[in-house]
Structure 1
Amino acid sequence: MGLSFRGEFNQKVDSKGRMSIPADFRRVLESGDPNHPENPNPRMVVLYGPHLKNKLEAYTIEAMAEIEAEIKAMPRGSKKRQMVSRMILGKSWETEIDRDGRIVLPKERRAQIGLDGEAVMVAMGEHFEIWNAATYDELETAEIEAFLEEMPDDFDPMSLLDDTGGE
């Protein structure tokens, strides 16, 4: 298993959609790109489907290859494979981090998540999310508060690691 994404980073997005990728995230992207270091600019895959609502998801090349292999293992011609292919493969694009450590988010992708000015990148282990900073602050606070209300006062998030029952 390769490196994992960790942390939360706020970054400015300029009028052309350029956004710096944090150095910690670049190291993970480099380790997950089979063409690196021959190609010094690591690549990544960004998902933008309608199922993502307020965010984009960014994956290493290797992580996306694993997802593609899982899709290819599904029965050909099945409705599930068709939908997963459209929502993941059809709604993704590969981009390269430039020598200054930036990517360019196309105008359509910025519009999808209302990204104007400041983005937040949130580590999710095998991938990271890209949000409009204000939307993330609002939704994440509400989501965590609602979740914690259902938990006992002495709740420890580490206790969920033993829970194999899914969500």
Structure 2
Amino acid sequence: MARKFRGTEHVKVDGKGRMSIPARLRRVFDAGDPGFAASATGRTQLVAVYGPEWWNWIELYSIEAIEAIDEQIDRLPRGSQERRWLELLMNGQSTDLEIDREGRLVLPLKLREKLGFTEGTETVFESRGDYVQVYHPDERPKDVQALEAFAESHGPEFDPRVFLQQADKG
């Protein structure tokens, strides 16, 4: 089983669009890149999914995690709406990136503009298990806003770990 991302970090963007990836997150990206150990460049490969225009976040996946998703997509019927939608999201609305030897990720200008990242912007790197969600600290991701409403519908005393029992039945 691949290592999971855990925790939340705040990272600043420099004038060249670089962000230093926190060491504990970088270790997961390194471990999830099968070519990293054999790489002469010392650069870790990963994939950024930027999604449709309304997304106000990006998702960073290790190579192993994105390959697992690709395998799941490949098992869907070719030409089905579900497969086509997932192919568009995970392949068409994504880009390959790398972490350099100094542990920095250069975010393309297109993505920095989409998220409102300028020099000195403090970004949020929030772990989601098999990926990291990156967003502007002044704009909570729209998917998290929906999740918060779902959580509120269960009340403040509800323990979400009860959902794990449902996972065991599946």
Report if TM-score (shorter chain) is over 0.5: yes
Separation (CA, whole Å) in 2 of partners of 1:74 and 1:138: 27
Query: Would the alpha carbon gap of residues 137 and 130 (structure 1) be closer, same or farther in structure 2, given more than 3 Å must change?
Result: closer
Residue 75 of structure 2: aligned partner: 73
Q: 1:136 to 1:86 in 2, by over 3 A?
A: same
Q: Retained in 2: the 8 A contact 1:120–1:136?
A: no
What's the counterpart of residue 140 of structure 2? 136
Are the equivalent residues in 2 in contact too, given 1:46–1:57 (CA < 8 A)?
Answer: yes
Which of 103, 122, 126 lines up with 1:101 in the alignment?
Answer: 103
Q: Structure 1 pair 49/152, CA: closer, same or farther in 2 (3 Å)?
A: closer
Q: What secondary structure sits across from 1:81 in the alignment?
A: helix
Aligned residues: 164
Specify the SS of the correspondent of 1:74.
coil
- The Cα RMSD (Å) is 2.5
Greater mean deviation of Cα atoms: 45-54 or 118-127: 45-54
Distance 1:52 1:59 in 2: 20
SS of the equivalent of 1:28 reads helix
The alpha-carbon distance between structure 1 residues 149 and 76, as it changes in their structure 2 partners (threshold 3 A), is closer
Secondary structure of 1:67's counterpart equals: helix
Q: 1:150 to 1:59 in 2, by over 3 A?
A: same
Give the whole-Å Cα distance in 1 for the aligned partners of 2:68 and 2:142: 32
TM-score (norm 2): 0.84
Question: 1:19 matched to which residue of 2?
Answer: 19
Give the CA deviation at 1:153. 4.1
In the TM superposition, what is the alpha-carbon distance from 1:79 to its structure 2 partner?
Answer: 3.4
Q: 1:155 aligns with which of 146, 154, 158?
A: 158
- Show structure 1 runs of 4+ deviating over 6 A: none
- What CA distance in whole angstroms lies between the structure 2 residues aligned with 1:153 and 1:83? 35
Relative to the length of structure 1, the TM-score reads 0.85
Q: Which residue of 2 aligns with 1:61?
A: 63
Does the 8 Å CA contact 2:55/2:141 hold for their aligned counterparts?
A: no
Question: How far has the Cα of 1:56 moved from its partner?
Answer: 0.2
Q: Residue 48 of structure 1 corresponds to which residue in structure 2?
A: 50
Instruction: Give the distance between the partners of 1:82 and 1:140, measured in 2 at CA.
Output: 25
The CA distance in 2 between the partners of 1:52 and 1:9, in whole Å, is: 24
Give 2:2's aligned residue.
Answer: 2
Q: Distance in 2 between matches of 1:140 and 1:77?
A: 30
Classify 1:150/1:75 alpha carbon distance in 2 versus 1 (closer, same or farther; 3 Å): closer
Change in 2 beyond 3 A, CA 1:78/1:29? same
Q: Tell which deviates more after alignment, 82-91 or 146-155.
A: 146-155
Give the Cα separation in 1 of the matches to 2:160 and 2:114: 32
Q: Are the equivalent residues in 1 in contact too, given 2:56–2:141 (CA < 8 A)?
A: no
Q: Aligned with 1:135: secondary structure?
A: coil
**1:117-139 deviations in Å (ceiling 9; x for gaps):** 11100000011101011113999
What is the percentage of aligned positions where both structures have the same residue?
A: 38
